[in-house]
Amino acid sequence: MPVAARVQRALHQVRHSVAAPARNPRMAVVIGRLLALAFLLCFATGLYSHFLQNPAPWMVFPTRPVWIYQVSQGLHITAGIACFPLLLAKLYTVFPELFQSPPVRSFTHLLERASIAVLVSASLVQITIGLLNTYQAYAWFDFSFRLTHYALSWVIIGSLAIHIGVKLPLIARYWRKRDSYHDDGSVLERVDDEDDPDAALDVPDELRRLTGESQTHGVTGRVFAWIDKTPPPADDSADARASRRGFLTAVAAAVGAVVVLTAGQSFRLFDATNLFAPRKQGVGAQGLPVNRTASAAGVLESAVAPEWTLAVSFGGVREVFSLARLEALPQHDVVLPIACVEGWSQNAPWRGPRLRDLLDAVGAPADAHVRITSLQERGGFGVTEMQPEFVRDELTLVALRLYGETLDIDHGYPARIIAPGRPGVLQTKWLSTIEVIS
Ligand code: HEM
Ligand SMILES: Nc1nc2c(c(=O)[nH]1)N[C@H]1C(S)=C(S)[C@@H](COP(=O)(O)O)O[C@H]1N2
Ligand SMILES: [Mo]
C-alpha cells in the first residue's frame, strides 16, 4: 500500500477511536456560538478599556452612567473566565478533526487549517495571560501584557472571522437542532488527482467501508475522488443522547462554577460566593482593596511630608494648593467606584474639591486636557492624562476623604483623583502636579 494511503488509513483509525457522541458538528456549533459570544464581548469591552487608556485625539467618552467602565470591565473578566470551560469544551468536541484525512486537501484547506491553528493557540495564550494578569502574577512573563493582549485580540478576531466565514454553511446547517441527526450527508466535493492517480485507486476497500466518506472512481485514464465534506450524522441512540446531555450539563456546570466563584470581585450579587477571585469587596485599608501600596510606590515619606503641596499650572499661571487650601475650597460628596482593569471594583463615598474648581483658579479653558502626576517614583501609573469630558465633570474630585475619614496613605493621602467612568488605573493617587497640556 502506498504511503499516502497508509497515512490516510491511520488517520481514519485514530479518528474513529476518538469518536464520541458529544463530538459532532451540532455540538461544535452549540459550544462555538457561546464561545464566539464570549470572545466578541471580551473584544468589545477590551477595546473600550484600551481606548480609555490610549485615546485617539478625537475620542470623547461617556461619563454616565458612572459605573459604565465598572460593568464593562467586570463583563470582560467574567466572560473571559467563562472562556476557559467553553474553549476546552469546544476543543473536546472538535478533537477528532485534528486527524481528518487527507490532512490537506487543497491550498484553501491548508489556509483554513492554519487559521484554526492560529485561532486556537492565540486564544489559549490570551485567556491564560489575561487570567494571570488578574492575579497580578506577572512573574513569569516580563513582556508588556497590554501590548501582547491587545495585539492577540486582533489576531483572534481576524482568525475567528475567517473561521466563521469558512464554516458558515456548516454553522447554518447545524444551527437548529432538528437538522442535526437527520443528515443526508451529501455535500460532496470533486477532487481531481492528476499527480498520483495510482494512489487514489489504491485506497483499499476496507478504508472506504470504514469511513464511508470518500470514493474513488476511475474514468478512462483519469482519477478523481468525491470527498464528503459533511461529517457523518451523529448517533441518535438513547445512549448517545444521554451522553450529549451529560456533556452539556458538565459544561454548563463548569461555566456556572467559575463565574459564581469569581464574579463577586466585579458584581455585588456574587459577593458571598467569591472564593477564588484575587480580590474581595470590603477587604483592604478603609474597607477598600488596594492595588499598589504607598510602600510599593515609594511614597511613604513624600506623602506625609508637612510641606506637601499640589501644584496646578496652565501655561505661565501656577497655583499651589496646600492641604489646608484644598480643604477650604467647596467640598463635594460623590459615590464612585474604583474599577480596576483587572476586573475587581468597589463603590465608595469620596469627598473633596472638584477638579474643575482647581483649574478655574488658573483660568484653564473649558476644553482643557490635563496631565496628572503622582509623587510616586517607582513603577507605572505615576502619570496620567485626562480628557475634558472628565476634567469638567462635576463628579470628578481631588478626593481628600474616603468614608468620611482622611484618606489612608494606601488610598492616596494627601489627595487623589476620583472620576466617573474611568479605569482604576487612571485614578491617580498621591497627587503632586496637575498641568493643562492643551
Ligand atoms: C478572547 C478573549 C479576549 C479578548 C479578545 C480580550 C481582549 C482584550 C483587549 C483588546 C484588551 C485591552 C488591551 C489594552 O488596553 O491595550 C483587554 C484587556 C484586558 N483583558 Fe482581555 N481579552 C480576552 C480575554 C481575557 C481573559 C480571559 C482575561 C482574564 C481572565 C482578560 C483580562 C484582561 C485584563 C486584566 C485586561 C486589562 C489590561 C490592562 O489595561 O492593564 N482578558 N482584553
Ligand atoms: N500613583 C498611583 N496611582 C494609582 C496606582 C498606582 O500604582 N500609582 N494604581 C491605580 C490602580 S491600578 C487602581 S485599581 C487604583 C486603586 O485604588 P485604591 O488602591 O485606592 O483602591 O489606584 C490607581 N492609582
Ligand atoms: Mo487597577
pLDDT in tens, 373-395: 999 987 788 999 999 999 999 99
The pTM of the whole model exceeds 0.75: yes
Output the pLDDT for position 185.
44
Cβ(174)–Cβ(26) under 8 Å? yes
- Beta pairing, strands 188-192 & 222-228: antiparallel
Ligand 3 centroid to 427 CA: how many Å? 9
- Is 50 exceeded by the pLDDT of residue 186? no
Q: Alpha-carbon distance 127 to 149, whole Å?
A: 9
Cβ(387)–Cβ(55) under 8 Å? yes
243 exposed, middle or buried (CB, 10 Å; 0-12, 13-18, 19+)? middle
- Is 50 exceeded by the pLDDT of residue 285? yes
* Arithmetic mean of pLDDT, 115-138: 92
- Is 70 exceeded by the pLDDT of residue 207? no
* Arithmetic mean of pLDDT, 403-408: 97
Residue 429 in contact with ligand 2 by CB distance below 6 A: yes
Q: φ, ψ for residue 350 (rounded to 5)?
A: -115, 155
Output the pLDDT for position 282.
84
Residue 417 in contact with ligand 2 by CB distance below 6 A: no
Q: Alpha-carbon distance 94 to 32, whole Å?
A: 10
Q: For the stretch 120-148, what's the b/e string if a residue is b when 16 or more beta carbons lie within 10 angstroms of its beta carbon? A: bebbebbbebbbebbeeeeeeeeeeeeee
- pLDDT per position as a tens digit, 301-343: 999 999 999 999 999 999 999 999 999 999 999 999 999 999 8
Instruction: Outline where DSSP puts E strands in 166-287.
Output: 188-192, 214-219, 222-228
Ligand 2 centroid to 341 CA: how many Å? 10
- pLDDT per position as a tens digit, 83-93: 999 999 999 99
- 52, 375, 427, 428: residue to mutate for ligand 2 pocket, most atoms within 8 A of CB: 427
Give the number of other CB atoms < 10 A from CB of residue 296. Answer: 14
- Is 80 exceeded by the pLDDT of residue 237? yes
Three-state DSSP class for 328? Answer: helix
Give the number of other CB atoms < 10 A from CB of residue 379. Answer: 10
- Is 90 exceeded by the pLDDT of residue 401? yes
Ligand 1 centroid to 1 CA: how many Å? 51
Return the bridge partners of 385, or none.
Answer: 371
Element (H, E) at 338: strand 332-339
- pLDDT per position as a tens digit, 36-68: 999 999 999 999 999 999 999 999 999 999 999
Per-residue confidence band for 276, with pLDDT thresholds at 50, 70 and 90: confident
Ligand 1 centroid to 173 CA: how many Å? 32
Ligand 2, residue 375: give the atom nearest the CA: 1
Which protein residues have a CB closer than 5 Å to ligand 3 (ion)?
291, 340, 424-425
- Is 90 exceeded by the pLDDT of residue 143? no
Output the pLDDT for position 221.
42
- Is 80 exceeded by the pLDDT of residue 235? no
- pLDDT per position as a tens digit, 239-249: 988 999 999 99
Could you tell me what percent of the chain has a pLDDT over 70? 85
Give the rounded distance of the alpha carbon of 236 from its chain centre. Answer: 36
Output the pLDDT for position 220.
42
Could you tell me what percent of the chain has a pLDDT over 90? 66
- Is 80 exceeded by the pLDDT of residue 195? no
Average pLDDT score, the chain:
87
Per-residue confidence band for 259, with pLDDT thresholds at 50, 70 and 90: very high
Output the pLDDT for position 359.
98
Starting at the earlier edge strand, list the strands of the sheet with 370-374. 317-322, 309-314, 431-436, 370-374, 383-386
Output the pLDDT for position 268.
85
Residue 413 in contact with ligand 2 by CB distance below 6 A: no
Output the pLDDT for position 378.
72
Altogether, the residues listed in the chain come to a count of 438
- pLDDT per position as a tens digit, 151-160: 999 999 999 9
Ligand 3 centroid to 172 CA: how many Å? 42
The lowest-confidence range among 51-65, 196-210, 236-250, 348-362 is 196-210
Q: φ, ψ for residue 397 (rounded to 5)?
A: -115, 155
User: What domains does the chain contain, in order, with CATH numbers?
Assistant: 3-190+231-265 (no CATH), 287-436 (3.90.420.10)
Q: Alpha-carbon distance 203 to 209, whole Å?
A: 11
Which residue shows C-alpha cell 476586573? 343
Mention every residue, 6+ apart, whose C-beta is less than 8 A from residue 331: 351, 352, 353, 400
- Is 60 exceeded by the pLDDT of residue 211? no
- Is 60 exceeded by the pLDDT of residue 191? no
